[in-house]
Each structure stands twice: as C-alpha cells, then as structure tokens.
C-alpha cells in the first residue's frame, strides 16, 4: 500500500495532484469526466473583485510544445463565486483553493476578508498573471510588493495563504523569499512565461493582446529548475507546476522539491489528466517500493 497523502503546512491533501487555476474553471466542466474527490485539490479560476469578461479574442494560440493564453482573468467576480460556485466546489471532496487576482494593492486583502468567512481551504495570491494591465505580475515582479501584499492578506485571514510566482523575473528565489517574509504559508510556481506568436502571412501577433503566457511541456525544464532553486532558498512548502503532462513529470517536480504539484495545460488536452496522474503515480510508487509519496520531496541526488 502506498500513502499518497501530503501536507502543505497544516493543510492535508489525499494526494499531491491539484488542478491548476485557469485550466479547470470551478470544476463543473470536469465533473462529468471523473470523480473529483480522486484528486488532491482544485485551484479556482483567478477571481477579481468585480466580474471580468477578459481580453479580446483571439486570446489562445497553439505553439511548439504548448500554448499561449491571454485570457485576461475572465471570471464572475468574488461575490458570485462565494455564493454560487464555492458551495458546489466544496461538495467535491477535495481541497478547494481560491486563486485571487488584484488590480489594486487593497483588492487582495478585500477578497481575502470575504473568503475568510467561507470554508475555502486555502487562498492562492495570483501575483503572476501576465495578461492584465495592472496588479498581478506587475506586483509579482517586485519583491517589496510581494511582501506587502502577502502581509496585508495575512492580517485579515487565518486561512493558509499561498503565493503564486511568476517566472518572468531575474531571481525567482528573491521573490519566494519576499513571500516567505510576508508570512506566506507556501509558494506555488511557475505561472506562465511571457511569449509571442506571429502569423507570418498577416505579419500580426496571433493574440489580440500581442503577447501572452506560455504553458505546456515546453516550459517544464525551466519550471523544474525554478522549483529546485526556490526549494533550496525558502523554509516554506513549495508547490510545483509548469508543463506537467503525466506522472513522471509530476514526480520530477517532487524530487526537485515540490511537496505537491499543480497540473494545468494537460487538463485542456486530456480532461482526465489529473486523475490519470494520481493513478500512475501510485503504480510507480508501488513498483519502486515507495511507501510514502511525500518522502520524494526534495530527494534530488547531487552529482
């Protein structure tokens, strides 16, 4: 028997596989494919104070080894989420994380205050969406802002607070340390890499917004390196993501230092990806006589 259970600080998950924000909605579209209680958790689509329609189309583009998106945080707003989506998400039987995205500094704490009154299991601060004109990645590429936003949220909630980091910085470990200094309970990384695709016939960017966030298998080596660097820099748990398509990819992140993983773009290709990864991870652990999956975290051997 393999114990797939993991802890992210105080929060316990039945297994390390979390559906990443923005690739799973609020679960409704995915619940018909498998029993969502099989996975460790779901991080909601990025939520804002007010509802948003998102950016103009085209806002997704396929490219080598992945895709670009510039969705622009389309969502129904935090109040609608709390009233109409969160109760249903909580019925799935896995951990539920609210991913929140602010345009102004105060909006993170304002949303966290509302979430504090709910049964949501954790709050993930989106300091990394590259597709909006203010807040998010603009805050997340400035260490002092990361620290200040995190502190402001920690003063209004006792829920675990995770900070989702952008790879579009010079030093991701500096940003992770800032989150830790601000009181973050965990960091999750990486969000998307800023990229661009050009249609050579029209000579225009494929995305209306010109640039967008690159995700999918192509980003995985970058993400694994960043997870390992951050794991070696901070004392708080690290949640790894970036191009995870199968159990082997997920295990790579755990060996690099992740205590749990988030699976994103794979959900758009194979709707059952998270469930498939849990099953294959258990098989791998059995075949390799690993009794506790959590024992893999940070077990990287040095040359």
Q: How far is the CB of 212 from ligand SIN (least distance, A)?
A: 8
- CB closer to ligand SIN out of 55 and 297: 55
Write out the binding residues for ligand SIN, residues 24-83 only, by CB under 6 A: 46, 69-73
- CB closer to ligand SIN out of 15 and 195: 195
Pick from 139, 134, 231: nearest CA to 182: 139
Q: How far is the CB of 288 from ligand SIN (least distance, A)?
A: 34
Q: How far is the CB of 280 from ligand SIN (least distance, A)?
A: 27
In DSSP terms, 204 is beta-bridged to 199
Structural contact between residues 27 and 44, judged by C-beta atoms closer than 8 angstroms: no
Q: Catalytic: which of 129, 136, 259, 274?
A: 129
- CB closer to ligand SIN out of 14 and 45: 45
- CB closer to ligand SIN out of 213 and 237: 213
Q: How far is the CB of 213 from ligand SIN (least distance, A)?
A: 5
Structural contact between residues 47 and 132, judged by C-beta atoms closer than 8 angstroms: no
| DSSP per residue, 12-63 | EESSSEEEPTTSSTTSTTTTTTS-GGGSSEEEPSPB-SS-B--SPSP-EEEE
At a CB cut-off of 8 Å and minimum separation 6, what does 24 contact? 30, 42, 43, 45, 267
> Is 129 a residue of the active site?
yes
- CB closer to ligand SIN out of 191 and 275: 191
Residue choice 15, 18, 22, 254 for contact with ligand SIN (CB under 6 A)? 22
Burial annotation 62-76 (CB, 10 A radius, 16+ → b, else e): eeeebbbbbbbbebb
Binding residue count for ligand SIN, defined by CB under 6 A: 14
Write out the binding residues for ligand SIN, residues 115-174 only, by CB under 6 A: 126, 128-129, 131
- CB closer to ligand SIN out of 20 and 120: 20
- Write out the H or E segment, with its range, that includes residue 103: none
Q: Is 199 helix (H, G, I), strand (E, B) or coil?
A: strand
Q: How far is the CB of 99 from ligand SIN (least distance, A)?
A: 7
Pick from 85, 28, 43: nearest CA to 263: 43
Q: How far is the CB of 105 from ligand SIN (least distance, A)?
A: 18
Structural contact between residues 48 and 79, judged by C-beta atoms closer than 8 angstroms: no
Structural contact between residues 253 and 224, judged by C-beta atoms closer than 8 angstroms: yes
**What binding mask, one character per residue, do residues 190-229 give for ligand SIN by CB under 6 A, x or -?**
-xx--------------------x----------------
Catalytic residues: 129
- Interacting residues with ligand SIN (CB under 6 A): 22, 46, 69-73, 126, 128-129, 131, 191-192, 213
């Amino acid at each position: 028997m393999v114990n797939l259970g993991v802890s992210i600080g105080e929060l316990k998950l039945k297994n390390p596989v979390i559906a990443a924000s923005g690739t799973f909605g609020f679960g409704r579209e995915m619940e018909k494919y498998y029993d969502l209680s099989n996975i460790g958790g779901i991080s909601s689509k990025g939520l804002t104070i007010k509802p948003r329609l998102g950016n103009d189309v085209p806002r997704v583009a396929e490219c080598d080894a992945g895709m670009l998106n510039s969705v622009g945080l389309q969502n129904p707003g935090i109040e609608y989420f709390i009233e109409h989506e969160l109760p249903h998400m909580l019925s799935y039987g896995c951990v539920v994380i609210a991913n929140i995205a602010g345009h102004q500094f105060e909006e993170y704490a304002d949303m966290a205050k509302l979430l504090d009154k709910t049964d949501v299991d954790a709050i993930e601060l989106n300091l990394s969406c590259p597709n909006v004109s203010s807040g998010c990645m603009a805050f997340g590429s400035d260490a002092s802002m990361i620290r200040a936003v995190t502190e402001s949220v920690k003063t209004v909630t006792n829920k675990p607070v995770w900070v989702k980091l952008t790879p579009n910085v010079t030093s991701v470990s500096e940003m992770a340390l800032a989150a830790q200094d601000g009181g973050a309970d965990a960091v999750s990384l990486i969000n998307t890499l800023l990229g661009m695709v050009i249609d050579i016939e029209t000579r225009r960017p494929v995305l209306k917004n010109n640039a967008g966030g690159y995700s999918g298998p192509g980003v995985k080596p970058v993400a694994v390196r960043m997870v390992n660097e951050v794991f070696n820099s901070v004392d708080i748990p690290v949640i790894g993501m970036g191009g995870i398509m199968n159990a082997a990819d997920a295990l790579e992140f755990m060996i690099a230092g992740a205590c749990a993983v988030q699976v994103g773009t794979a959900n758009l290709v194979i709707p059952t990806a998270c469930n498939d990864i849990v099953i294959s991870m258990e098989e791998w652990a059995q075949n390799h006589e690993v009794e506790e999956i959590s024992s893999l975290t940070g077990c990287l051997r040095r040359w």
